[in-house]
Amino acid sequence: MTEQFGRIYCLKRIYDGDWMTNVLNIMKQLYCMFGEPTDSHPNGIRISKESELNTGERMEYLDYDISNFIINTYIVLRLSKLSPDGEYFVYYDPINIVIKSLTSDYKSILSEKSINSIDTIFNHPHFKGCKSVVDIKEKIQSVEDFNTRFKGMK
């Protein structure tokens, strides 16, 4: 991963519907592989539609709870902009990288970009040390609520 991401948040799901239910049902069938850390997967976690194991990896299915978390996760991106008069500035924007990457086509809702976005979430420093789906579920409990991220700031 070459991008630098900031904090991670989760928004409580306040919407429902056939399309979202379909997305969650597809996501819970993804494979989660746990192996050694690499440059592209610093926590050693890979997500795939196929059961492709590398040497020394363990594989588990994602489940509904983790899929629900994924679809509601926001990561703060560090973005920069150059104005027409040459002024350069940096700003931070919380983005739901998975929702942004989904397609509306039921047959290919989860594109390669979507899989990479899920990889990004589970290779975020918050999930460092996770070696199983149970570990991920434990770490999910400590992800800050998106709506309370400014609580206490003045």
**pLDDT tens, position by position, 35-72:** 999 999 999 999 998 877 777 788 899 988 999 999 99
Q: What is the mean pLDDT of residues 25-39?
A: 91
The pLDDT confidence band at residue 89, using thresholds 50, 70 and 90, is confident
Q: Has residue 1 got a pLDDT over 50?
A: no
What is the rounded CA–CA span in Å between residue 9 and residue 151?
13
Task: Give 1-61 as a DSSP string.
Answer: --S-EEEEEEPPP----HHHHHHHHHHTT-EEEE----SS-TT-EEEESS--PPTT-EEEE
- Determine the longest span between alpha carbons in the chain, in angstroms: 53
| pLDDT above 50 (res 32) | yes
**What's the pTM value of the predicted model, to 2 decimals?**
0.83
The pLDDT, as a whole number, for residue 15 is: 66
Q: Give the pLDDT of residue 14.
A: 62
